[in-house]
A and B are shown apart, each in its own frame.
Chain A
Amino acid sequence: MSEFVKAIRAEEIAPGGMRTVELKGHQFVVCNCGGTFHAIDRRCGHMNAPLEMGTLDGTIVTCGMHCAQFDVTTGEALAGPVPAYLGNEVPPPRTGALLRNVGLFMQNVRTEPIGCYPAKVEGGWVWIAL
């Protein structure tokens, strides 16, 4: 059964902002969506990048690494990575081989939903249900 755990002072996160907290050995990102707080897993469902380094727009968080997007209210993946544009120049052979190799792995990486957790504000603190 989940219990609410004190996470961070609400005033420490401006509207549209995100902060990382570590509770019970697990990292979360607390999001302030215009005064309503939501808690999600810190790691992106695409390639594990830290989501607080991305951007929060409304209730949609965009990962700063490959721009995968998630709904912070449900954890649902809304979009996969945006393809990189490497320009028209042909890369040097070794770089080209490396990029092809990375590409082979990347095309099999799925964007999975992330965990999201009920959050509430009480006594000026954000509490997360764990």
Chain B
Amino acid sequence: MSTDSRKNALRHFFARIVEPMGFKFTPDEELADFLLAQEVKLEEKHGIPFCPCQPIRRDRARDMQIVCPCIPFHRKHFDAMRRCWCGLFVHQDVTDPTSLPQMSAKDLGLE
């Protein structure tokens, strides 16, 4: 199993999930490639492509909320940022992902 093939497969499946939610892969190809490579590693270790930027807590209910793409579980937060926590996905109208800072839900007044 090659990392590149798996990355392409994840792209295929993720696009089908995120596009109806108004998101797309970040135009920053280098970042997308790096994040997907980390997810492939996590999938090899755990059998599940967890978000590479959030901690795995060994609590099934919480861990299932960080399986990529985790947008449905953090919709309000990610819509406010116009990106997901990692930045792998951004709103479909975003052309410059560097202009979107990573902000906690608390800082955005959502908690």
Contact assessment for A79 and B43 in the assembled complex, using a CB-CB cutoff below 8 Å: yes
Query: What bracket does the count of chain B residues touching chain A fall in?
Result: 10 to 19
Q: Chain B at the A interface: mostly helix, strand, loop or mixed?
A: helix
Number of residue pairs spanning A and B whose beta carbons lie under 8 angstroms apart: 34
Nearest Cβ in chain B — how far from A78, in angstroms? 5
Alpha-carbon distance between A85 and B1 when the two chains are bound, in angstroms: 24
Q: Chain A at the B interface: mostly helix, strand, loop or mixed?
A: loop
Contact assessment for A78 and B1 in the assembled complex, using a CB-CB cutoff below 8 Å: yes
- Is B109 in the interface zone, CB < 8 Å from A? no
- Residue on B with the closest CB to A71? B5
Set A58, A77, A85, A111: member contacting B12, Cβ < 8 A = A58
Contact assessment for B48 and A78 in the assembled complex, using a CB-CB cutoff below 8 Å: no
- Is A50 in the interface zone, CB < 8 Å from B? no
Q: A71-B9, A80-B44, A81-B47 are in contact. List 6 more A-B contacts (CB 8 A).
A: A58-B12, A69-B9, A71-B5, A77-B1, A78-B5, A85-B60
